[in-house]
Chains A and B, each alone.
Chain A
Amino acid sequence: MTGVLVTGGAGFIGCNFVRFALKGRPEWRVVVLDALTYAGNLENLQGLEEAYPGRYRFVRGDVTDSALLEKLFGEEGFEYVVHFAAESHVDRSILGPLAFVRTNVLGTAALLEVARLAWKEKKGRYLQVSTDEVYGALGEEGAFTESTPLDPSSPYSASKAAADHLVLAYHRTFGLEAVLTRCCNNYGPYQFPEKLIPFMIVRALDGKPCPVYGQGQNVRDWIHVQDHNRGVLLALEKGRPGEVYNLGARCERRNLDIVRALLTELSVLKGWDISRLEERIAFVKDRPGHDWRYAIDPGKAERELGFTPQVPFEEGLRDTVAWYLQNEGWWRRILSGEYLEFVKKLYGTQA
C-alpha cells in the first residue's frame, strides 16, 4: 500500500481528488486530513469507508497542528502528500485576512517541515495545489506561464503566493521532492455554493437575482474539477521536483457569459421562459482588488506530463447544473448550516 495524505480532502477539489484517486489507484491508502471549517463537508466523503475498506481514513484536524501531522506521518508512513487545504474565498479574505495567512501560509510551513523531517530517511513526494491568482491580473492579451512573475492582488492570492515561495524554497534549500501546480477556476460537483457557478445556480433556483460584479466583463479561465485532478495526479507522479505546472483547459469566459450560460441550462431543465433570463441578473458594485482577467497557459504540463483536459466546458457545465438539481439536499443543508450541525454532533465540538 502506498500511503497518501490528502489535506483539505473534505473540500470541493479535495473530495473529488480522493474519489478519483481511490478509484484509479487501487494500491493507494488515502488519509484525508481536514479541519471541517465551513468549506469542508463530511457529506462530500460519504460512503468511502464502505466502498474502499482499509484504503480510506478520515482525520479531523488542522494543518497547522504540527504534532498531529507528526503523529499521522508516524502511523501511516506517507509516500505522497497532496496539499489542498486552504482558505480559498477571496471575499472572505477581504473580511478576515489573518485566517488566510494562518491556514495557507503557516499550514503549508508546518506540513513542509514535518514532511522534510519524516522524509530524511525514506523519500516521499509533496504536491502543492495552488492557483493562477498568484500571477495577478492580465490585460486583454496573453496568458500566464510558469515564468510569469508572481504579483498577487488580494490577501488570498498573497497567502497562496507565500505558500508557493515556501514550497519551492524547501526544494532548493533542502532538496525536498516538491512539485507545484497552479490551476485556473474550477467547477463541478461538490463545489461550495459561495463560488460563482454553484452560487448562481442556487440563487436562480431560489428565484433570487444573480449578482454580477461590475459589468460582468472580468474574464476567467475554467476547468472541470476532474480535469484539474487528472493534472494533479500527473504532476504528483511524473512532475520534476522543484517545478511548477500550470493546469488549465484553454477555456476563457466572461463572468456575464457564464451566468447567462447557466441560466440558459437551468431554463431548459426547469422549463423557464428563456426570453426573460436577463431579468434574473443584477449588476452590483465591483469589489476592491478584483483582477480583470486570468488566463493560464498549460503548455508545459501538456508537453512534459502529457496533460490533456477531457471535459468540454459546455458539457461540464450542463452536468454540473444537473448535479446541483439532483443534489438539492446537499446544498440546502449547506445553506441552512445543517451540515455544520452534523459535524458538531459527530465531534461534539463547535465546527
Chain B
Amino acid sequence: MTRDSVGPPECPCLAPEAPPQPAVRVVQSAQAPSSRILVTGGGGFVGGNFVRLVLKEREDWHVTVFDHLGGRDDVPVLRGLAAKHPGRYRLVKGRITDPGLLDSLFAEGAFDTVVHFAAKNPSGQEISDPPSFVEVNVLGTAMLLEAARKAWEGRSGKFLHLGSYEVYGSDAAGVFTELSPLNPSTPYAATKAAADELTIAYHRTFGLHTLVTRTTNIYGPYQSADKLIPAMIALARDGKGMPVYGSGSNLRDWIHVNDHNRGVLMVLERGRAGEVYHLGARSERTNLEVVKAVGREVYAVLGRDSAEAENLVRRVEDREGHDARRALDPSKAEKELGFQACIPFEEGLGHTVRWFLDVAAADTPRPVG
C-alpha cells in the first residue's frame, strides 16, 4: 500500500505548512492588524504548535517565546523559526518565577497580548513535590498577570490562560460546561484551578482583559513521546504490544492541536473578557478505539497488513472503575465565537502517524532488532 492511498486528501487545517484552501474556513483576524504577542511555554507541544500557527496565519504579528526549554538550547517544535520568519520571532529563555525577569521582558517587549501556556505538568499518575507545582503554576501565573497589569496601565492588552479539564475533577465523569464547579482532586489540578481563578479575578478586580480556555485530549505533531498517541505509534511501529487499561471503554474527547490552537486564536480575538471557553471537537472515542486506530494507521503507512495491527492490543487489568466518560461541552465557543473543529479524528490521526513516522524517525535512531 502506498502512502497516497491512505485516507482522504489531507485537510489543510492539519499542517501550518500546507497551503489553505478556500473550502476550509480560516479564522480571520478581528484584531488590530499588528500585534506583539508573548507566548509563555512556547517551547512545549501545544505552545510550540501555536507559535507556528500564529507566525503563518497572522503575518504582521511579532512573537516572543518565553520558555526555559528544560535547560536545552533548542527544541524541535521551534527549530528554524527564526530563519523562516526574520524579525517576527524570537526566543527568550527563562523561568516565569525568576524575580525581575518578567518586568524587564514586558518593558522591552511592548506586548499587547500574552498567551500563557507555561505550566509544570505531572509526568506520571502521582506528582512528587507538590509545592514546586504551586510555585510554577500559581505563583508563576500571578507574577505574569501582575507584570501584564503593570505594563498595561493606561493601555489595553489581552491575557489568555490555558487551563486544564482536570480542574473539574481528575476522575470526574460526565460532560462539563464552563459553569460546572471546579473540583480538582489532585494537587496539580488544584494549581490549575487556582491559576484560572486568579486570571478571572484579575478581570473582575482590575478590568484586565483576561480569558481562559480549557480543553480535553490534544494530539498532533511534536507531542512528547510518553503521551498516549505518540507512545502507541512507537509501539506499533516496532511491532510491540500496545497496552490498554481495563476494558478500554473510557470515553475521551480528542482534538487536533491545530484545531485547538485556532480556537485559542478565536477566543483571543473575539472572546469576552473574564470568560472561560471550552475548546472541543465533539470527537469522543474510547481508549480501545484510539489504540486500534493508531495500530491500523501505522501498519497502513508502513505497508503492513493493517488487520494484523489489532493483534498488538494487550489488555492490562488495572485501574478498575476508570471507564468513565469525560468531555467538555464546546457549545459556548461554537455559539459565541463560531468555533468549529475542522479536522476529523481519523484524518488528524493519520496525519499525526505519518508525521511521527517521517519526522521523528529522521531524528531518532530506531531501536535495533
Contacts and interface: CB of A to CB of B under 8 A. Distances in A.
A56 B204 CA distance: 43
B143 interface: yes
A106 B141 CA distance: 13
B242 interface: no
B224 interface: no
A162 B185 contact: no
Contacts of A173: 126, 185-187
B201 A288 contact: no
A98 B146 contact: yes
A66 B131 contact: yes
A225 B155 CA distance: 43
Interface stretch (A31-39, A164-172, A263-271, A331-339): A164-172
Given A158-B194, A162-B197, A109 B131 contact: yes
Interface in A90-109: 94, 97-98, 101-102, 105-106, 109
Q: Which of B129, B145, B179, B197 is packed against the most chain A CB atoms within 10 Å?
A: B197
A165 B139 contact: no
A182 to B, nearest CB: 14
Nearest to B145: A97
Contact of B131 (A97, A106, A159, A162): A106
B8 interface: no
Given A106-B135, A149-B181, A161-B194, A94 B205 contact: yes
A155 B201 contact: yes
A236 interface: no
A83 to B, nearest CB: 15
A165 B184 contact: yes
Given A105-B194, A106-B139, A147 B181 contact: yes
Nearest to B141: A101
Interface string A107-130: 001101100000000000000000
A170 B191 CA distance: 12
Contact of B187 (A153, A158, A170): A170
B190 interface: yes
Given A101-B139, A110-B131, A173-B126, A166 B187 contact: yes
A237 B187 CA distance: 25
A152 interface: yes
A105 B130 contact: no
Contacts of A26: none
Nearest to A164: B190
A112 B182 CA distance: 20
Contacts of A97: 142, 145-146
Contact of A169 (B143, B179, B185): B185
Interface residues of A, number: 34
Contacts of A168: 184-185, 190
Contacts of A113: 129-131
B194 A162 contact: yes
Contacts of A157: 201
Nearest to A158: B201
A110 B131 CA distance: 6
A305 interface: no
Interface string A168-180: 1110110000000
A155 B194 contact: no
A154 interface: yes
B7 interface: no
B210 to A, nearest CB: 12
A109 B130 contact: yes
A153 B204 contact: yes
B138 A153 contact: no
A150 interface: yes
Nearest to B179: A149
Contacts of B204: 153-154, 288-289
Interface in A267-324: 288-289
Contact of B190 (A106, A159, A162, A289): A162
B185 A105 contact: no
B142 A149 contact: no
A150 B134 contact: no
Contact of A288 (B180, B182, B184, B205): B205
A203 B198 CA distance: 33
A94 B126 CA distance: 35
A55 to B, nearest CB: 31
A300 B152 CA distance: 44
B174 interface: no
B142 A169 contact: no
B97 to A, nearest CB: 11
B194 A165 contact: yes
13 contacts: A98-B139, A106-B131, A109-B131, A148-B181, A150-B181, A153-B201, A154-B205, A155-B201, A159-B198, A162-B198, A168-B185, A168-B190, A172-B186
Interface of A: 66, 94, 97-98, 101-102, 105-106, 109-110, 112-113, 147-150, 152-155, 157-159, 161-162, 165-166, 168-170, 172-173, 288-289
Q: Please name the 7 residue pairs, one residue from A and one from B, whose CB atoms are nearest each other, closest first.
A: A162-B194, A149-B181, A289-B205, A165-B190, A158-B201, A109-B134, A169-B190
Given A106-B135, A161-B197, A289-B201, 9 more contacts: A101-B142, A109-B130, A150-B197, A153-B201, A154-B201, A158-B197, A162-B190, A165-B182, A173-B186
